[in-house]
Amino acid sequence: METGKKSKTKKKNIVVIGNGMVSYKFCEKFVSKPKASSYNLIVLGEEPRPAYDRVHLSEYFNGMNPEKLTLGSLEWYAENDIQLYVGQLATHIDVTNKTVTTDKGRIFTYDKLIMATGSAPFVPAIDGVEKDGVFVYRTIEDLDLMLSYAKRAKKAAVIGGGLLGLEAAKAVKDLGLETHVVEFAPRLMPRQLDDAGARILKEKLEALGIWIHTDKNTTLIDGDQHVSKMIFTDDSTLDVDMIVISAGIVPRDELARKIGLETGPRGGIVVDEKMRSSNPDIYAIGEVALVNNMTYGLVGPGYDMAEVVVKQLLTGEETSFSGADLSTKLKLIGVDVASFGDAFCEQEGRSIVYEDRAKGIYKRINITEDGKYILGGILVGDAEDYNMLLQRVTNRIKLPENPEELILGPRGSDGNSGMGVMDLPDEALICTCENITKGTICDLIKAEKVNDISGIKACTKAGTGCGGCAPMLNDLYTETLKSMGKEVKKRICEHLELSRQELYHLVKINGLRTYNEVLDNFGQGDGCEICKPVVASVLASLWNDVIQKQCHIQDTNDRFLANIQRGGSYSVVPRVPGGEITPDKLIVIGELAKKYDLYCKITGGQRIDLFGAKVNDLPKIWEELVEAGFESGHAYGKALRTVKSCVGSTWCRYGVQDSVSFAIEVENRYKGLRSPHKLKSAVSGCTRECAEAQSKDFGIIATDKGWNLYVCGNGGTKPQHAVLLAADLDKETCILYIDRFLMFYIKTAEPLQRTAPWFNKLEGGIDYLRDVIIHDSLGICEELEKQMAHHVATYHCEWKEVVENEERRKPFKHYANSEEEDETLEFVDVRGQKIPAPWD
């Protein structure tokens, strides 16, 4: 049934075969043109649903509703007079009568035909590839099949170590399976990374529990009817019970071949720079198009192709597609990877390389022989500078006198060696997916046509593709407003027109202690999921009151004082200051884990995590732990997590100070301290740095003369070294500076902002921070010290507060009106312990 409106004048038909991301973008661009109403736009989609976002397909395994991946709903197509037919596979094209026939027998006439059939997974010719347990990774239906089969699988392999293969490996890992990646080439991501970058990536992935096998050519998939083993050309084998093939793509050009359109020897519909095929009435866009012997597997070039065709059909503009930048930045299983410009220095030039295998960071930039311009580069483990480096390539911006500063430092406060986003020319492409320039964005802001980042996205679509340009959009918005002489208002949300810093001071001055008091005095409406946690954090930081009093505005973790885990169970993490624990306490943990059937894991933060607890068992578990002398480890809160330590001079022959005793003292002082984001610390007994203090929010390293204090480092998705605040301190002065530093951070940081990005935004950097913390340039150090003293004096164990209060114990049950336990929790046995069963 057609959804378009009828008109008296016969309209010409434009038929689009395919309804993927590029097809959707063609439709979106088409209906935005004034002459769109002169045509009937008909779209034939093979899949049973409208176009969806394949770039973020792996999020489906994390429970994302398919509707959230949808790019345009059925209602959107109808509202824009687009006749969309889902579940209709085009099977025949009659170029004489200009018709398209589908597998359902529907026949559509066209005046112009757009081939947007995309690509299909490349499946190597391997004996046994047809066996049960072998899957491709392409559609939501593929993922549904994988989810179903994974319930009876334990060990899976992904064939393909490129972009698609590693995305598939993340999906397999999310299913809870032992994950292996098998790559034919001698390194991972051979088209994007060099040997050194690929080696760093391999090491980081293996540290995450993904096993990498390169230089492997699969000759046989063994097993009766189901997969049981992979056999390689070197006679080695790999036992697996599930295989996902993600070894590349092949253009879906079978319809084109049937009607005699010119295709490439390796597939793809040959088109000119106007995207016209060998038949003047048929165009091809996206992954199926072969332009200048090149096919493009990224959405950005496909969007550009769609724009070229739309302009020809509706505006008559002389426009063409002359190629596209293949630079990419993405996060592969939590690891930043980027490749841009001439990544392998195939032009004449030289390379500057920084490599830190201990931290898993590799940076390479290729520059011209005269050192004036950057040609391209590779980033692994830390791709924060990708956007600005790419802008230097695409806009031919001259390099600083010492180009190595771009990857080695010193860095300006904007993190880009003094060059900010406003230094870019107006024609600089900010969003390559949507072809949006800096000038376009700045003009919108200056004309006051947008009021926030969401407005920019809605007006230009910038930031709605891969999302890699989001940080630059934010910087552009802020800096453009500043250039206009306007105050940049960082409001929390529509209910609180305040920044976190403003809220913090107003709550403190007015002595407000509840969310309703805050909203009544300074807000409007009933609040939302953005402002509630922020207010809760501020109240907790200021008053150190029982967190359960604010449970109605806390998230699930703080409400139940435990981290909710995959499958619906909770984890229990007792505090173990400095990693030091007595045998008696170890026995208590072991006996308790056996009693409640909990999974045990020793963490990198020198703690023992207990997983798999039911919500109704939490108070009983805590009661036994509190009785044995344990306290809450605050693993669930935006608070101090751990103070890691080495054994220091107590045992180590290299140690120069007692790092264990100091770590315990530091952790006991700051335990329970609520802050804008989590805090981690470490104390190392010598400069060999076994506790890794320089990757922490505040870290302490022993010297022969005392202690060096480092601040504002962090690991995580964007690792950053801490910076030396002060050297050779005695213990008392070191603690005094930490008191001041932490309270200054808590007072001034934005919501959910770690110390590293907070520091990066401080004008004046470490010199300014030293002036504030050491020299009291703002005259606030006495106040900061009093606030920390209040925290230390009012500390309480949150678990104990629940255990000793019957009213606070009552919410700890699965059903609001019943004492029954949650019987839907499912676990499977792995290495003698239980883990959550894979999701359906």
- Specify the CATH number for 563-793; select among 1.10.3720.10, 3.40.50.11030, 1.20.120.1770, 3.30.413.10: 3.30.413.10
d(CA 397, CA 28): 34
pLDDT at 414 over 50: no
Six token digits for residue 596: 């409640």
d(CA 529, CA 109): 50
pLDDT band, very low/low/confident/very high, at 282 (cuts 50, 70, 90): very high
List 341's β-bridge partners, or say none: 376
Q: Is there a contact between 142 and 244 (Cβ–Cβ < 8 Å)?
A: no
Give pLDDT, residue 6. Answer: 45
Give pLDDT, residue 25. Answer: 94
Q: What percent of the chain has pLDDT over 70?
A: 94
Architecture of the domain whose range is 12-118+251-314: 3-Layer(bba) Sandwich (3.50)
603-626 pLDDT, tens per residue? 888 999 999 999 899 999 999 999
Minimum mean pLDDT among 147-151, 589-593, 607-611, 820-824: which range? 820-824
User: Assign residue 731 a region: left if phi > 0, alpha if psi is -120 to 50, beta otherwise?
Assistant: alpha
Give pLDDT, residue 64. Answer: 65
pLDDT band, very low/low/confident/very high, at 221 (cuts 50, 70, 90): very high
Give pLDDT, residue 268. Answer: 95
- Angle, CA of 405, 407 and 409, to the nearest 5°: 45
According to the 3-state scheme, what is the secondary structure of 471-518?
HHHHHHHHHHHHHCCCCCCCCCECCECCCHHHHHHHHHHHCCCCHHHH
d(CA 676, CA 787): 16
Give pLDDT, residue 823. Answer: 74
Give the CB-side neighbour count of residue 72, counting CA atoms within 13 A: 25
Give pLDDT, residue 555. Answer: 61
243-270 pLDDT, tens per residue? 999 988 899 999 999 999 999 999 999 9
**Distance, first Cα to last Cα, the chain:** 34
Mean pLDDT, residues 440-449 taken together:
86
Which of 100-117 are b and which e, b meaning 16 or more Cβ less than 10 Å from the residue's Cβ? bebeeeeebebebbbbbb
Six token digits for residue 52: 């969806």
User: Assign residue 165 a region: left if phi > 0, alpha if psi is -120 to 50, beta otherwise?
Assistant: alpha
CATH 3.90.850.10 fits 134-247, yes or no: no
Full DSSP string of 535-602? HHHHHHHHH---GGGGGGGS-HHHHTTSEE-TTS-EEE-B--GGG---HHHHHHHHHHHHHTT-EEEE
Q: Is there a shared CATH topology between the 134-247 domain and the 563-793 domain?
A: no
721-751 pLDDT, tens per residue? 999 999 999 999 999 999 999 999 999 999 8
Structural domain spans, the chain: 12-118+251-314, 134-247, 563-793
C-alpha closest to that of 691 among 703, 682, 681: 682
d(CA 401, CA 408): 13
Six token digits for residue 798: 């949150």
d(CA 564, CA 732): 38
Q: Is there a contact between 570 and 825 (Cβ–Cβ < 8 Å)?
A: no
C-alpha closest to that of 44 among 6, 82, 90, 13: 90
C-alpha closest to that of 281 among 263, 261, 302: 261
Which helix (H) or strand (E) segment holds residue 387: the answer is helix 386-394
521-577 pLDDT, tens per residue? 998 887 777 788 888 889 888 888 877 666 555 566 777 888 888 777 889 999 999
Q: Is there a contact between 609 and 570 (Cβ–Cβ < 8 Å)?
A: no
Detail the DSSP E strand segments found in 659-779: 679-684, 698-702, 707-711, 723-729
pLDDT at 5 over 60: no
C-alpha closest to that of 46 among 99, 84, 13, 3: 84
Which of 6-20, 248-262, 432-446, 501-515 tops mean pLDDT? 248-262
118-148 pLDDT, tens per residue? 999 999 999 999 999 999 988 889 988 998 8
Cα dihedral: 355, 357, 361, 363 (round 10): 20
Which helix (H) or strand (E) segment holds residue 78: the answer is helix 74-79
Q: Is there a contact between 86 and 50 (Cβ–Cβ < 8 Å)?
A: yes
61-113 pLDDT, tens per residue? 666 677 878 898 999 999 999 999 999 999 999 999 999 999 999 999 999 99
Give pLDDT, residue 8. Answer: 52
d(CA 723, CA 570): 36
pLDDT band, very low/low/confident/very high, at 7 (cuts 50, 70, 90): very low
Neighbouring residues of 725: CB distance < 8 A, sequence distance ≥ 6: 709, 710, 711, 737, 741, 766, 769, 770, 773, 774
Neighbouring residues of 283: CB distance < 8 A, sequence distance ≥ 6: 112, 113, 114, 115, 271, 275, 276, 277, 309
Instruction: Report phi then psi at 367, rounded to 5.
Output: -125, 160
The edge-to-edge listing of strands for the beta sheet with 335-341 is: 328-332, 335-341, 374-380, 361-367, 350-356
Question: 822 or 499, which is more confident?
Answer: 499
656-665 pLDDT, tens per residue? 999 999 999 9
Give pLDDT, residue 816. Answer: 63
C-alpha closest to that of 716 among 672, 753, 671, 670: 753
For the chain, the helix, strand and coil percentages under 3-state DSSP, each to the nearest 5? 35, 20, 45
Q: Is there a contact between 755 and 697 (Cβ–Cβ < 8 Å)?
A: yes
